[in-house]
Amino acid sequence: MKHNSFTILFLLFLSAFCVAQDSLKTVVAEPGDGILSLLRKQGVNPYEVYDEFVALNHHDLRDSVHLFAGRIYVLPRIKLDTVAIVDSLQLQSKEIKELESDSYDIFGEQHKTVITKSERLKGNVYYLVSGHGGPDPGAMGVYAGKAIAEDEYAYDITLRLAKELLAHGAEVYIIIQDENDGIRDDFVLEIDHDEVAYMNKTIPLNQVARLKQRVYIVNDLYKENRGKYQRLIVTHVDSRSENQNIDVFFYHHEKSKNGEKLAESIHKTFGDKYKKYQPNRTYSGTFEDRTSLYLVKKTHPAMAYIEIGNIRNKKDQVRILDPDNRQALAKWISEGVLLDFEGE
């Protein structure tokens, strides 16, 4: 029996569609469910399919990572490198494709897979610096009777941000690194002192020497990448009075229009997210010039310096310690980066 080319293509599509549908099932989120707990309850290793789950369900996630109780979610069941899926489960398209991904050991065994989302940042270079590290843990706080340190949380958010930027095709330099600490999904992150600077440089104890080292590394890389679109993002956690609850805020160099635009774009993204997801709460985070900060003053790329929250305040600790919230912070920063590059 003869088939014309259209019939053959239709049969191939139908076959692929059926395989895709057979490979995926749905589940209803219950009150209190997070992505990790929902996947575990379904007998799925959450770390193997986390990014795929987010990719499949991104239109139905609050704060980009939180579930809505009572809503239906698509649950991947096949390994990331083999599953065929419908391009849009919201019926926007019927194109079948495979998820493209790369692997990066720095994110840890459970999070090393980076699924390609787009090439919107292809050719762009981003330098990511997490505050403190090595002999200096930075700001300290206490949660559930255990000590918590700024550098561990700033690093975790920075890794999550790096993963988001890589997913959009960016070239990313993680300036402070810890080969033992990938992305971690714990509330209390164990404190250690084995972080190193880019290219395995020992981090000095002296504060000025430590800051100078970071400036030299970033500025040397900036020269190497001359002619490319380059930006720097520095992530810190603040320490203030226990009673002072603060929102995420941003600094930039007073004479850098590009740095101001980057900080403003991320700030705007946070403001928009609060309006959408927390309409009864006013976002009070600011962006302003702060050239007195050493990294703001001395580094060459246009940059945004981010303070995530007050590590000593109980409300801010929820934002900092909850791994889902750290993921949301990274996602929102990445969306601000995209806004900065592409404009409104």
Q: Which CATH superfamily is domain 105-342 in?
A: Zn-dependent exopeptidases (3.40.630.40)
Q: How confident is the model at residue 74, as a pLDDT?
A: 92
Burial 88-109 (b: 16+ CB within 10 A, else e): ebeeeeeebeebeeeebebbbe
For the stretch 10-56, pLDDT in tens is: 444 444 434 444 457 899 999 989 898 899 898 888 877 887 888 88
Which segments in the chain show pLDDT lower than 70? 1-23, 77-99, 344
| pTM across the whole model | 0.82
Spatial neighbors of 22 by CB under 8 A, at least 6 apart, are none
Domain boundaries, the chain: 5-98, 105-342
92: its two tokens:
């926007």
Number of neighbouring beta carbons within 10 Å of residue 318: 13
Report d(CA 195, CA 27) in Å as an integer.
Answer: 40
194: its two tokens:
């084995």
Q: How confident is the model at residue 43, as a pLDDT?
A: 86
Q: How confident is the model at residue 135, as a pLDDT?
A: 97
289: its two tokens:
């010039």
Number of neighbouring beta carbons within 10 Å of residue 333: 28
For the stretch 59-94, pLDDT in tens is: 899 877 889 999 999 988 655 343 333 343 343 333
Spatial neighbors of 287 by CB under 8 A, at least 6 apart, are 249, 250, 251, 252, 260, 263, 264, 266, 267, 304
58: its two tokens:
């991104």
Amino acid at 153: Y
Residue 28 phi, psi (nearest 5): -95, 130
